Each structure stands twice: as C-alpha cells, then as structure tokens.
Amino acid sequence: MLIGLDLDGVVCDLGPGVAARIADRYGVASHPDTWRTYDLRELELGVPQAPFKAFLDGVFADPALYEAAVVADGAVAGVERLLDAGWRLVGITARPAYLAEITTAWLTAHGLALEAVHHTTVGAKAAVAERLGVAATVEDNPREADQLAKVCESWLIDRPYNRDYPLERARRLRSWDDAVGRLCQLRLFA
Ligand SMILES: [Mg+2]
C-alpha cells in the first residue's frame, strides 16, 4: 500500500526561505502564517505586481531555496510512523526535474525515508497517482487535492494559505499528527 506525499508545503517548508528573500529584496516583513493565498503571486504586499511575480519565479527556480529549506512541523515523526504502520511512501512533486538530485539529498539529510520521488507538473499529479496505484495522497494545494480525490483517498494538510479554499472532494487534515491518525486507521482496515 502506497501513499503519495507532496513535498513543498507537506514535508518541506519553503515559507521561511521565501519570506527572507522577500524581506531582502523589498524590505517588507511578511510572515508565512499571514499568507492567505496559495498562489504567492497574489500576495498583497504593497509592492509592484509585475516585478514581484518575476521575482517570485526567480525565487522558486533557485536550487538554494530547496537546499536550505526547513522540514515541515511534524513531518519527520509523521513519516516514521507511517512507515512503521506498514505504508510505503513516495513523493509526488511539481518541482522541476533539475531539482531531483537536491531533493533526494535533502530528504536523506533530514531522515525522510521516501522510496522514490516522482517529478511532474502542477495539475498532473492525479495522472501520476493513478499510474502508481497510490491508495492515498497528502497535498497542500487545494485544487490539486480535489483532482487527486478522483483517483485515490486525497487529503489536504491545513495551512494558513489554503484555509480559505472550499474543497469539493478532498478532505482536510489538521496537522501531521492528524494525518498519521487517519492514515494508520485506513491501513488497519485495508
Ligand atoms: Mg505542495
């Protein structure tokens, strides 16, 4: 039985790195907990919109952002507990393929024992999940989570920036602890 884990926003927290770069570039202190939009290009920071979008594209293309990223709260223990319960874990990420090496090195360095990472694009994760035959996925992108719900049990982990999006099919998890509780239960009755 396989679980597909999204990386950014689920096991990896890019928020502090992005906030630091915004502060450096614009002198604006913006805490990730205050972000209320999944697409950060829609953040209202009082800075010119077009250059801000180009700036963010650059931030997210920079391998250093991913190399120095912190682990999401609860993810290390959560991954361990899912493995202990007998799940197999893979990453399903929209990170581009050129980040593959950095990604596996980061996972290893943080003790996150995923057996593989599948790189795809935004909006294409459901096809990957279906091909792999995953039983469940954990995402932080509400639209992607709803698409994934068509092919497996799809969970959206609650984040400040996805809280205001209504879900059609996917279900919301409060935290990694909640994820472990529900997914271990699912495994028990599989
Ligand atoms: Mg994500």
Torsion sign over Cα 107, 153, 85, 13? positive
- Structural domain tally of the chain? 2
Same domain, 86 and 176: yes
Per-residue pLDDT of the chain (190 residues; tens, 9 = 90+): 999 999 999 999 999 999 999 999 999 999 999 999 999 999 989 888 899 999 999 999 999 999 999 999 999 999 999 999 999 999 999 999 999 999 999 999 999 999 999 999 999 999 999 999 999 999 999 999 999 999 999 999 999 999 999 999 999 999 999 999 999 887 666 6
Measured in angstroms, how far is the CA atom of residue 47 from the centroid of ligand 1? 25
Which distant-in-sequence residues (6+ apart) come within 8 Å of 46 by Cβ? 28
On whether the CB atoms of residues 164 and 185 are closer than 8 A, the answer is no
Measured in angstroms, how far is the CA atom of residue 147 from the centroid of ligand 1? 14
Same domain, 80 and 165: yes
Q: CA nearest 173: which of 3, 1, 54, 2? A: 3
Same domain, 56 and 104: no
CA 131, distance to chain mean position in Å, is 20
From 45, 67, 89, the end of a domain falls on 67
Same domain, 22 and 100: no
Count CB neighbours of 110 within 10 A. Answer: 16
- pTM tops 0.85, yes or no: yes
Neighbours of ion ligand 1 (CB under 5 A): 6, 8-9, 140
From 44, 67, 90, the end of a domain falls on 67
Look up the CATH number of the domain holding residue 160.
3.40.50.1000
Torsion sign over Cα 46, 27, 17, 160? negative
Q: Which residue range is the domain that position 125 belongs to?
A: 2-13+72-188
Same domain, 61 and 134: no
From 24, 42, 67, the end of a domain falls on 67
pLDDT of residue 189: 65
